[in-house]
Chain A
């Protein structure tokens, strides 16, 4: 009935009070302005910088030519490519196996396995690298396993990146695997297909989109990460480290911009491929699909358990060894317990104040970011009219996915550190870093909030509008409570990401506001590996602690606010 009435008012909001519409458009354009400032303009400045010389004069493509001619950079590019392909090829089967064992078995404690599988998200990419040094370095616990080989170099970086990218691949593949239609398997069984045939003809084709998309994400992550190669790369030079050396080490900004643009290529390519695939994917799961529930089979479950155990052990080892190492007095000659490495006074990197800064940054990012993302998602999903502005906002919200943190950070240096920029004074402040973090992680957060909002019938707004209730009251009374669990997720994601990220912030950090994740690199550069491990441990503990806290909060909220979801 309600909907029948409302169909007569196709664009409810526009016919509402003129003031409300003005506020709505003001809100929309304010959001667009924030994202342009934090994302669009810095990116444009990278392009501008790439065609300038050191003093800002226009030089055309000279910088590109120089980069193409310098053999070091070209070798770094081919190294990066090789590394990206290898890691992608290795991490996909691993993450798939883990996801399969988790979702297609009847094992007990799946929540716990899932947490272990995602645990690398809590650590900066430096953590596995440091652990690798303690495990397989020349004084490593398991050095003999290498038979005289050496962890520093290609394979060391591959191992570290496997750990770092595993949870990202796992999340995507799990989503793909969980969307299985039981009717297909039933049909397959009836037609006489064995488990292998079912796997090859139903399971694999069903997740191919997820696999490709996971592959693209992993490839881009590997290409733009410099935490791992910096610590265990040895002589193995990659493009991301090269960008860091050009900009921080030699202050050669134009050349850094060119390298940044090179790194933008694979990310843009991935995005295009993904778009294409998404269009084809759409009808894979219809409304009539039945959720798949695995049949009992102890053989399959035993295999699954073995798989989960093996991979979990590896993940926990790479996390735990670094933590343990931070308490050892003087590896490998004095293995006594000590807390001395947590006194950061005599090492580089800013010590405890860096840690406090990181906490502040992560908290501010989580709080302000969730707020911005919620309002942004509401504007995108719930406000009527203003098609142009909304599609612009949507585009800006999806843009960060294609922009590696390293590139964004460079853009910030070029844009905000430009003497003519009126916001120049803001450069180096914690506020700018918060903006950078929010912009960097915007897409995932936006998608989470938007998905939650989409579950909500659009008619709420329409009814509210017809009752002359302004949209912000509807958002506050209806949308916000419904979205709260998703927003807690967003806040957790933003906090942990801001706590662990390196790539963007390392370029815009100043000594007054040094950050925990960045200080790990500084300490390792100075040879203080144990102190670096200690700082990494602090980051992991804080991320884990907050995640736990928010999980509890979520459970509490779930009981209170989400009763309406339950039938009856």
Chain B
């Protein structure tokens, strides 16, 4: 009770004090960042820009993309901070993004910035496919450690693998897109057909497969390196496998929505997103960031990580996203009978 009273008094006081403080702008930020990253990023930005408050709407990549598209005629978001570049390209094709040259963008690797002038989006970091492999459970079940994507289709792994659903998860989509690009469309779908036989579940988010693997629920989870390294750090009995054919990947990126009513504040966030302090935040989570020279070695991520990334044609991945997801859903969501 006393605490509540104190909180009430506090609220009243801040309410009274507000006119004295700087007028604050509230910026609506749509994001697919991991929940445990949002807090740090938000704090860092608000510390550097005390007059701007960020209101985060966080969801998985697929959900945020769908939300943005459905709000096309009546955009609710000012800025997108931390969404797959393939998704941002789709928004750009719909004419929804505002071009802007953030201060200091020239310091970024040019591969990480939209080619348009002014750029519609700027990259933050790379996240890439990684397999989380639970060594304890694998030993119990006598499963060998997979080394490649091809290994995962071996009969021994039947019912032992989980991966994210590509429609809801950006990590899921980058896997599918990379397999199709690396193997070619026909072989890519053949591969997924075989993988589907071994798949225990398709789950909502890109983190969940690794969390499931870490908890031993399923020994193999197709996820991404940040979650893998974070869980391993915490002591989960997992090994991270970087399949030798190459890792599917995508860029997390930032963009301003056309029609934002808080354009000045939105630009400040775009500036912050490419700044060194922001890059240092990204670096804590990812091995490759947009600004050269910032990244440090993570003990759980191989030194030649950047070279292991597969060749990725973003424009292709963005343009064909809807068709690919439809085909995926036709093949793997509407089978005549449940598998188990």
Contact A251–B215 (Cβ < 8 Å): no
B284 contacts the other chain (CB 8 A): no
Q: Which residues of B contact A55 (CB under 8 A)?
A: 73
Q: Which residues of A contact B215 (CB under 8 A)?
A: 139, 330-333, 529
Minimum CB distance partner of A73 in chain B: B334
Contact A249–B167 (Cβ < 8 Å): yes
Contact B202–A235 (Cβ < 8 Å): yes
Bound CA–CA A330/B200 (angstroms): 22
Q: Select B58's contact among A235, A236, A334, A511, beta carbons within 8 Å.
A: A511
A346 contacts the other chain (CB 8 A): yes
Contact A511–B216 (Cβ < 8 Å): no
Contact A346–B36 (Cβ < 8 Å): yes
Bound CA–CA A70/B212 (angstroms): 31
B208 contacts the other chain (CB 8 A): yes
How many chain A residues touch B (CB < 8 A): the figure is 43
Contact A511–B57 (Cβ < 8 Å): yes
Q: Which residues of A contact B194 (CB under 8 A)?
A: none
Bound CA–CA A419/B205 (angstroms): 31
Bound CA–CA A234/B204 (angstroms): 11
Dominant SS at the A interface?
loop
Bound CA–CA A138/B329 (angstroms): 26
B218 contacts the other chain (CB 8 A): yes
Q: Select A249's contact among B36, B62, B136, B212, beta carbons within 8 Å.
A: B62
What does the 1/0 interface line of A516-550 toward B look like (CB < 8 Å)?
Answer: 00000000011111000000000000000000000
What does the 1/0 interface line of B27-39 toward A look like (CB < 8 Å)?
Answer: 0000000011001
Q: Select A347's contact among B35, B74, B200, B333, beta carbons within 8 Å.
A: B35
Q: Which residues of B contact A237 (CB under 8 A)?
A: 333
A558 contacts the other chain (CB 8 A): no
B340 contacts the other chain (CB 8 A): yes
A253 contacts the other chain (CB 8 A): yes
What does the 1/0 interface line of B167-210 toward A look like (CB < 8 Å)?
Answer: 11000000000000000000000000000000011111101111
B232 contacts the other chain (CB 8 A): no
A235-B340, A332-B215, A419-B74 are contacts. A72–B63 as well, Cβ < 8 Å?
no
Q: Which residues of A contact B168 (CB under 8 A)?
A: 245, 249
A153 contacts the other chain (CB 8 A): yes
Q: Which residues of B contact A332 (CB under 8 A)?
A: 215-216
Bound CA–CA A260/B61 (angstroms): 25
A68 contacts the other chain (CB 8 A): no
What does the 1/0 interface line of A345-382 toward B look like (CB < 8 Å)?
Answer: 11111000000000000000000000000000000000
Bound CA–CA A236/B234 (angstroms): 32
Q: Which residues of B contact A249 (CB under 8 A)?
A: 62-63, 66, 167-168
Q: Which residues of A contact B329 (CB under 8 A)?
A: 72
B117 contacts the other chain (CB 8 A): no
B22 contacts the other chain (CB 8 A): no
Minimum CB distance partner of A155 in chain B: B340
A75 contacts the other chain (CB 8 A): yes
A250-B167, A511-B56, A511-B57 are contacts. A71–B200 as well, Cβ < 8 Å?
no
Contact A251–B69 (Cβ < 8 Å): yes
Contact B58–A70 (Cβ < 8 Å): no
Minimum CB distance partner of B201 in chain A: A234
Q: What total of A-B pairs shows CB separation below 8 Å?
A: 104
Bound CA–CA A72/B70 (angstroms): 22
Minimum CB distance partner of A152 in chain B: B201
How many chain B residues touch A (CB < 8 A): the figure is 48
A150 contacts the other chain (CB 8 A): yes
B217 contacts the other chain (CB 8 A): yes
Minimum CB distance partner of A133 in chain B: B217
Q: Which residues of B contact A139 (CB under 8 A)?
A: 215-217
Q: Which residues of B contact A252 (CB under 8 A)?
A: 66
What does the 1/0 interface line of A325-349 toward B look like (CB < 8 Å)?
Answer: 0000011111000000000011111
Contact A154–B338 (Cβ < 8 Å): yes
A137 contacts the other chain (CB 8 A): yes
Contact A137–B217 (Cβ < 8 Å): yes
B55 contacts the other chain (CB 8 A): yes
Q: Which residues of B contact A54 (CB under 8 A)?
A: 70
Q: Select B338's contact among A236, A253, A527, beta carbons within 8 Å.
A: A236
Q: Which residues of B contact A250 (CB under 8 A)?
A: 62, 66, 167
Q: Which residues of chain B in 206-234 are interfacial with respect to chain A, using CB atoms and an 8 Å cutoff?
A: 207-212, 215-218, 234
Contact A527–B334 (Cβ < 8 Å): no
A248 contacts the other chain (CB 8 A): yes
How distant is B39 from chain A, measured CB to nearest CB, in Å?
A: 6
How distant is A420 from chain B, measured CB to nearest CB, in Å?
A: 11
Bound CA–CA A152/B174 (angstroms): 26
B258 contacts the other chain (CB 8 A): no
Q: Which residues of B contact A459 (CB under 8 A)?
A: none
Q: Which residues of chain B in 236-283 are interfacial with respect to chain A, using CB atoms and an 8 Å cutoff?
A: 236-237
Q: Which residues of chain B in 134-157 are interfacial with respect to chain A, using CB atoms and an 8 Å cutoff?
A: 136
Bound CA–CA A251/B235 (angstroms): 38
Contact A527–B205 (Cβ < 8 Å): yes
A512 contacts the other chain (CB 8 A): yes
B2 contacts the other chain (CB 8 A): no
What does the 1/0 interface line of B60-78 toward A look like (CB < 8 Å)?
Answer: 1011001101100110000
Bound CA–CA A245/B336 (angstroms): 20
Minimum CB distance partner of A139 in chain B: B216
Q: Which residues of B contact A347 (CB under 8 A)?
A: 35-36
Minimum CB distance partner of B204 in chain A: A525
How distant is A132 from chain B, measured CB to nearest CB, in Å?
A: 13
A234-B201, A346-B35 are contacts. A512–B55 as well, Cβ < 8 Å?
yes
How distant is B290 from chain A, measured CB to nearest CB, in Å?
A: 25
Bound CA–CA A334/B136 (angstroms): 13
A139-B217, A234-B201, A249-B62 are contacts. A525–B39 as well, Cβ < 8 Å?
no
Bound CA–CA A245/B66 (angstroms): 11
Bound CA–CA A158/B209 (angstroms): 24
Q: Which residues of B contact A348 (CB under 8 A)?
A: 35, 58
Contact B67–A526 (Cβ < 8 Å): no
A-B contact pairs, 11 of them (CB 8 A): A138-B216, A138-B217, A139-B215, A235-B202, A330-B236, A333-B136, A333-B236, A345-B39, A511-B56, A526-B211, A528-B211
Task: Contacts A153-B340, A251-B67, A525-B60 known; list 4 others, CB within 8 Å.
Answer: A139-B215, A235-B202, A249-B62, A527-B212
What residues make up the interface of A, taking CB atoms closer than 8 Å to B?
54-55, 70-72, 75, 133, 137-139, 150, 152-154, 234-237, 245, 248-253, 330-334, 345-349, 419, 511-512, 525-529
8 closest A-B pairs by beta carbon, nearest first, are A527-B211, A527-B208, A251-B70, A71-B334, A346-B36, A525-B204, A251-B66, A348-B35
